[in-house]
Amino acid sequence: MATDCLFCKIASGEIPATLVYEDEQVVAFHDIEPQAPQHLLIIPRRHIRTTLDLTAQDESLVGHIYRVAAKLARQFGIADDGFRLVNNCNEAGGQVVWHLHFHLLGGRRMTWPPG
Ligand code: AMP
Ligand code: ZN
């Protein structure tokens, strides 16, 4: 665990969050500032700073995160209408929390191109 990492603290339970899913590898919870009627964050328990820090050993982890996203999309009723699964990487990509995370957004029509 990285000291001073908000999402490490959420994964360990040190900081409370509304968890919607957890297993040995990942945790998912409601975003505190939702940008859509459904806005969940899916994070690895292990501290990984950005997408650029992923290694070959993380391939199954990322696949697992996608499968958890699909399960949650169905569970939260946004699978059939459609949803967006987003990873913001580095500053110009909009990343503000430096622990890898995927936004699962749904419940409204998304626009393209994204802002
Ligand atoms: P990003 O801009 O991709 O780094 O996204 C970080 C996200 O974390 C934002 O959507 C925030 O609203 C969300 N966030 C920040 N603090 C918390 C928290 N304590 N619990 C849940 N979500 C949070
Ligand atoms: Zn962390």
Express each pLDDT in 104-114 by its tens digit.
999 999 999 99
Can you give 53-103 as a three-state secondary structure string?
Answer: HCCHHHHHHHHHHHHHHHHHHHHCCCCCCCEEEECCCCHHHCCCCCCCCEE
Is residue 115 assigned to a domain? no
Nearest one of 88, 82, 114 to 102, comparing CA atoms: 88
Express each pLDDT in 34-78 by its tens digit.
999 999 999 999 999 999 999 999 999 999 999 999 999 999 999
Does residue 2 surpass a pLDDT of 90?
A: no
Distance 7 CA to ligand 1 centre (A): 9
Average pLDDT over residues 20-47: 98
Computed over every residue of the chain, the mean pLDDT equals 97
Distance 101 CA to ligand 1 centre (A): 9
Is residue 78 assigned to a domain? yes
Position 26 confidence tier, pLDDT thresholds 50, 70, 90: very high
State the pLDDT at residue 47. Answer: 98
| 103 in catalytic set | no
Longest alpha-carbon distance in the chain = 39
Is residue 111 assigned to a domain? no
State the pLDDT at residue 38. Answer: 98
Average pLDDT over residues 16-32: 97
Which residue has its alpha carbon closest to ligand 1 atom 19?
32
Which residue has its alpha carbon closest to ligand 1 atom 13?
31
Say which DSSP state 109 is in.
Answer: P
Average pLDDT over residues 20-40: 98
d(CA 14, CA 6): 9
Is residue 37 assigned to a domain? yes
48 phi and psi angles, rounded to 5 deg: -125, 125
The domain in which residue 85 lies consists of 6-106
pTM of the model: 0.98
d(CA 40, CA 32): 9
Is residue 22 assigned to a domain? yes
How many other C-beta atoms lie within 10 A of the C-beta of residue 15?
11
CATH number at residue 89: 3.30.428.10
- Write out residues with Cβ below 6 Å of ligand 1: 6, 17, 29, 31-33, 41, 88, 94-97
Is residue 112 assigned to a domain? no
Nearest one of 21, 72, 11 to 46, comparing CA atoms: 11
